[in-house]
Every structure is written in structure tokens, then in C-alpha cells.
Structure 1
């Protein structure tokens, strides 16, 4: 237990709504701790994305204290205390691992039971994934409580798993991806035992729910660490089971790291753009711009390249369509100026985004740099829009069909 005078966290750094929740719990005789990533980030001098509260009050007891409280989740029961439309303070009851032989009366309730056995703060800390995420801030004494050695790991900038890594990764394979994400986001080193655990348990990531993996992948892009994490995942044998057989290459990792730098600079990446970036290298090999191909064939090949990822993660047709349009647009831009359909291409709303991605590709590979500049000038109106070359065959106008005249001269009698 670290007293207030020996740590840097102040109540002024915690938002007003979270403090209200913690103080009401405390006044009613319950423990009220700030838990998880909020404590970690405050100790590192970072601004937390949000704050979570841990308590020994059950979800129903929390609900009875707050009229604006709603209980959510079946497998993991939580209390959400809402303030206005956008602010939610999440309150979780301290939990423990069930004892051997401790099972619910109804076997169908096994998973919900596993996640909703309430316990002490110490038992709750040992259920968490990494030591740096198991630190508590007590609103009563303003002290930091550390049951697992998280403060020592914070000081050493080291990520360590609580418990035996393979066992914890088997419980939840997504922890392997989160371990690499935290190392990249916080610039931490990965503990040797955790690293060996990922090597051994990597195939288990294929058992995780695709929807959850998809959300974790987009978190990598939102935090600007997708390139670094996926590069390390590939080196540790985690990438192919993670993305259903996808094997990245150096050019793709360089492109993702370039996008990450833009994200950290304030230019976020949306999912169709991220999907096209992941597929661009493979698409250019399947459909090189220096090879003449009808647009229908280019569209088909773009769809084939995207199909494994979109099918595995059940990506909506609108998102996959935009990603395909980006790839097709890049092919047409990389073909160069003075191609038929240039005016339509410049008027396509996806063209500026395709050119943006092609520009990122040119930055990391050196390809198409002059061409990217020419297209940007054309889009900005600084360069004339070209017409098809003189030797291009003119498009034949279709003559309207002549109506057949009625030649019958007789009439029915």
C-alpha cells in the first residue's frame, strides 16, 4: 500500500462523475476503488481514456444506490451509471476464481457463473491479465494498493502476466494480442515468460470470436500501433492464426506504420481504408498496373483479395465495397494519366481516398511518386484533364432502331 504522499495521483485528475460514484459507494459502507488502466495511465503521466470503478457492492446493490444505474451483460454482470447522454461510469464488483468443484446448479449457467463469483479486492487483482492493470486507487485513504507487483513492473517498463502465461492465454487467447498492444502503446518490454507463452499458445488465437478480434484490430489502428503490433505478431507466429491465414510482408508493415504515424498526428483511419491497406501489397501482385486488364477483371481480383478477410470477420457489404473501390481506384491511378475514363475517375468520390492511400504507398516504397504528384495537381485543378490519345478508337454511337411500319392494308370485315 503506497500512501498519498508517495505517489502522483490526485483527485483533480479524476472526472467529477467518477468521483461522485466512488464517494456515494464509500458513504454507504462499500469499498470504492479506481481500477485498471485508469490507475496505470495516471501513474505513467498519461491521460486515461476513461475510468472504471471496483467495489465490493453487488450489481444489484449498486443499482439500488443510483437511480441512473442500468445493469448490463450476462456473462460478466456490470453496473453502468449514466450521466447525461454520453457519460457512463462502469462499476464492477470484485470477483474471484471459483474454487475446485464449485459449480452452479444449472450446468448451462457455467460460463456466467465463472465470471460472476464475487470476492475480495486481492482475489480480484489476481484474476486480471497483467500486473500493470491490477493496481487500485482507494478513494478512502487516497493510497495505491498493489497485490501483484505492478508498481515494480511500471518502474521497469515491463509487461508481465499475472500467473502462468500459457494458462492465462488459454483462458482468453485475446490476451496475447493485448500484450503486444500494450507493449507498443506504452513502449514497454515484454516479459520473457510472457513471450515464451505467446510462442506456445499462438494457435489458440484462432479460437477467439472473430467479432472480438475485429474490434481489437481496429483498436490497434485507433491507437496508432497496428504496424508495430502486427509485425511482432508475425514474428511470433501469431499473425496467421489471428487473421485466418493472412501473412503480411515488409511493405505492408511499413505502410501500416506510416498510417500509424498519421493517426498519432491526428488523422484517424477508418475501417475500409485499413482493410485496403492490409490488402494492397497482395492486390498489386495479383493485378499489376503495368498489365492491361479490363475493369471488370480488376474489380473481380480486388474482390478475391479481400474475400478471405471480409468473409472471416463478417464485414458488412458497404465496408467491403468501399475497400474494393479503393483498390480499383489505386489500379487506375497507377496506370498513369491519359487513360480513357480519366474525367470519370477524377469525379469519383473515392478517388481522393485512393490517391491518399497510393501516396502513402509511394512514401514507403518509392513507387509512383511523380505520378502521385501529377494526379494531385489534376484533382486540385492545377493540371488540365487529359483526353484519350488520338489513336484510341472512337466510341461508336448507337443508332436508334427504326420503328417497323404497319404494311397491312386490309381491315377485318
Structure 2
């Protein structure tokens, strides 16, 4: 697609990325903008970052840039660092090796597969989705499409490059990313992709829990967590994704409210997401209208959260904050005139617990009177002037001089 047929302008590309592209091109190498940045620029969205693809090897890239560092033992990449902590990632075009090229030792297959260099076309067919397989060529400012990504952008469709079952087996997290792109871009899933997710959903449990945890939080950083988890539940992906977790309609609605807060500029932290995921189950286990010691509430909240936190190796501080949110919601939902009310108001998690309770009341219609009463009390406490001491300042008390220690006379 020539320059006059697409909306990508160099003014929209990060200046440091342009420096990398131009230097590679001047030294005789192919230099392409690759991946999601091309997709976003074609959709007239602001890219999160810019990645570069080239036919130069990692060592050749390193010789061209003094600020280049090679990273990765199995998948060699060039990171070019600029001021302010900015990193431009440069990857050499790769291809899928033939079976007779693989080493005899199966343990070396993965590292070998990831470092077989190839052509731009071969590299495009290694990528996950057609809309991520587009290239922008700095030499003539054209967009290159080997995989049908331009057609899928026009149709607003998510389609896998190659056989979905095979590609999902290679990397099960691609199933979650397919749902994420649908939500973020407001696209639809191709029928073959949906069938592939249905067939391969159980194998996502084989993905590293740390990676799943990061992908999950990335959903909420983009403001699409609620919709994606709802879609994951509909396709059978949610339960193996979150180690047996089963969501319900009200929880998905609550998570979508958190997404709305994110879009309004209120970031959503991990303890808040954890508490929202398990709030409905917690309130069934600890009904606020039943008398229950707070120590028992704390214990039950911990029991509900601990399997999730243990599976995903969540730090104790984060799980503690999530538990405090749940316990705070229980105490707020009981209403006012309870023992320890003034001490409760000084707890640092109570304002956050009140916000989450207000979101929950928007979903289910309960606890609205309690939310209003607590808000009124908190607002009154914030408007109340700080007490002042009109008494004259007292003179500092002089320190008493200690008497010198008496030493006993020497014995004769």
C-alpha cells in the first residue's frame, strides 16, 4: 500500500524510532516498523510503543549503535536505549526452521527455532494475528501486508495467521490476547478463532502463572478487564485461566465498572481487582446482616483469597490489602452505630472499601443507604476544622542534673 493510500505519517512516529530506522536504512539494511504500532497508526490510534524489524543480525545492529545492548539468551534482541529510560526494541527477521535443520538434542530445539533468521515475508507468517503482521517500510513509506491484515483491519476482524489450533498450542496465551484485541479495538472474532479457543481452552492452564497474572493486570490497565473475562467465561477459557475461578454476571458487571473508572482517569490497582473478583463470594460467606466477630470475618476473607494468591505467587502486602478491603466492606455494609466506629474511620483502606461498596451497590442495588450514611460521616469529618490549642505554650522543662555517682572508698 503506497504512502498516498494510508494515514501513517512520520510525524506520528516516535523521533528516536525514526533515528533507528534511518540509520539501519542508510547502512543498507531493511528497516521496518512492525507489530502493533503499524496496526494502531492505521486505525488512527496512538501506539503504546514502537518496535523495529530488520534483516541485520543482532551483532550488526550492535555495531551501528553505541547505545545498543543485546538481551535474551534464547531469543536474541537488540535494545537501543535513549534518554529518559526509553528503549527501542530491534528484532531480526526470523523464520520457522525445517525439521531436518533442528539439532539432535530436543532440549535445544526451542532456542534454535527462535533464532533462525529469514525474510520479512517469513517473519510475517511467524506472528500471531494478521493485524499484527503488517510492516511500514521507511525506504518508501509504504505498508507491506503478507498475511491479509489490511483486509481484516477493514472488516474489523481478529484472525490468526495459520491454523488457530496449532498457533494456540504453540502459545496458549494467544487465546487471551485474541479476546483482549476484540475488546480494545471493538473487533469481532473470526469463526475459526472462536472454535480454536473452544478446543484449546484447557491448555491455557499450562502457561506460566506469572505471565497470566501480568496479562490479567494488563487488561485492567487498558480498561477492558470486565469484558474480556466475561468473554473468557463464555468461551470456556476463564476457569483454566484463573485456576478454577468461576465468575458470575454481577462480578463481571462490577469489573466493567472498574474499567469505566480507568477510562475516567482513576487507575485500578491489583488489590482492588482481587477484592472485586471475590467480593460476591465473600458476601455470601460473610453476610453483613448476620452477627459475626470481625476476627472470623478476617479469617474467612483470607481463606477465600489464599488459593488465588498462592497460585499466582502474589506478594503478602497485596493480598493483605485485598483482605482489608473485603473486611472493610463487611464492616461498612453493617451500617453505622457499631462498635469501634471512630477507629474504623481512621483505617487507611476504608475510603477504598467505601468506593468498592458503592460500585457493588450500583450493580446489585443493595447497601445504598449504608454508602450514603458513611459518605455523609466521612465528608463531615473532612470539613471539621482541626482543633487548635489556645493555651500559652509551656516552657520546656529543664532536665534534672544527675548526681555524680559516688564511688565507694577503697578497701583496706
TM-score, normalising length: structure 2: 0.91
SS of equivalent residue, structure 2 residue 29: coil
Structure 1 counterpart of 2:18: 19
Residue range with higher mean Cα deviation, 241-250 or 98-107: 98-107
Residues of 1 paired with 2:228 and 2:317: CA distance? 27
Residues of 1 paired with 2:328 and 2:182: CA distance? 36
| 1:223 and 2:227 aligned | no
* Residue correspondences, number: 384
Gaps of 5+ in 2: 385-412
For each residue in 1:94-151, what CA deviation from the matched residue of structure 2 results, as whole angstroms up to 9, or x when unmatched?
1111111221365433221121111110000000000000000000010000000000
- CA-atom RMSD in angstroms: 1.3
SS of equivalent residue, structure 2 residue 380: coil
SS of equivalent residue, structure 1 residue 127: coil
SS of equivalent residue, structure 1 residue 98: coil
Residues of 2 paired with 1:368 and 1:101: CA distance? 67
Structure 2 counterpart of 1:372: 371
8 Å contact from structure 1 (residues 289, 335) kept in 2: yes
- CA displacement at 1:373 relative to structure 2: 1.2
Residues of 2 paired with 1:72 and 1:295: CA distance? 50
1:151-230 equivalences in 2 (<5 Å): 151-230=150-229
SS of equivalent residue, structure 1 residue 245: coil
- CA displacement at 1:74 relative to structure 2: 2.0
Residues of 2 paired with 1:330 and 1:266: CA distance? 23
Structure 2 counterpart of 1:61: 60
SS of equivalent residue, structure 1 residue 113: helix
8 Å contact from structure 1 (residues 377, 383) kept in 2: no
For each residue in 1:69-106, what CA deviation from the matched residue of structure 2 results, as whole angstroms up to 9, or x when unmatched?
11112232111100013211111111111111221365
Residues of 1 paired with 2:381 and 2:364: CA distance? 26
Residues of 1 paired with 2:203 and 2:140: CA distance? 42
1:13-412 equivalences in 2 (<5 Å): 13-104=12-103, 107-381=106-380
Residues of 2 paired with 1:243 and 1:159: CA distance? 24
Residues of 2 paired with 1:87 and 1:383: CA distance? 41
Residues of 2 paired with 1:333 and 1:297: CA distance? 16
> Residues 371 and 34 of structure 1: is their aligned pair in 2 closer, same or farther, counting only changes over 3 Å?
same
- CA displacement at 1:46 relative to structure 2: 0.4
8 Å contact from structure 1 (residues 378, 384) kept in 2: no
8 Å contact from structure 1 (residues 132, 150) kept in 2: yes
- CA displacement at 1:383 relative to structure 2: 9.8
Residues of 2 paired with 1:252 and 1:194: CA distance? 26
Residues of 2 paired with 1:326 and 1:163: CA distance? 45
Residues of 1 paired with 2:291 and 2:106: CA distance? 62
- CA displacement at 1:302 relative to structure 2: 0.4
> Residues 133 and 383 of structure 1: is their aligned pair in 2 closer, same or farther, counting only changes over 3 Å?
closer
> Residues 383 and 84 of structure 1: is their aligned pair in 2 closer, same or farther, counting only changes over 3 Å?
closer
Gaps of 5+ in 1: 386-413
For each residue in 1:140-165, what CA deviation from the matched residue of structure 2 results, as whole angstroms up to 9, or x when unmatched?
01000000000000000000000000
Residues of 2 paired with 1:76 and 1:342: CA distance? 57
| Deviation >6 Å, runs of 4+ | none
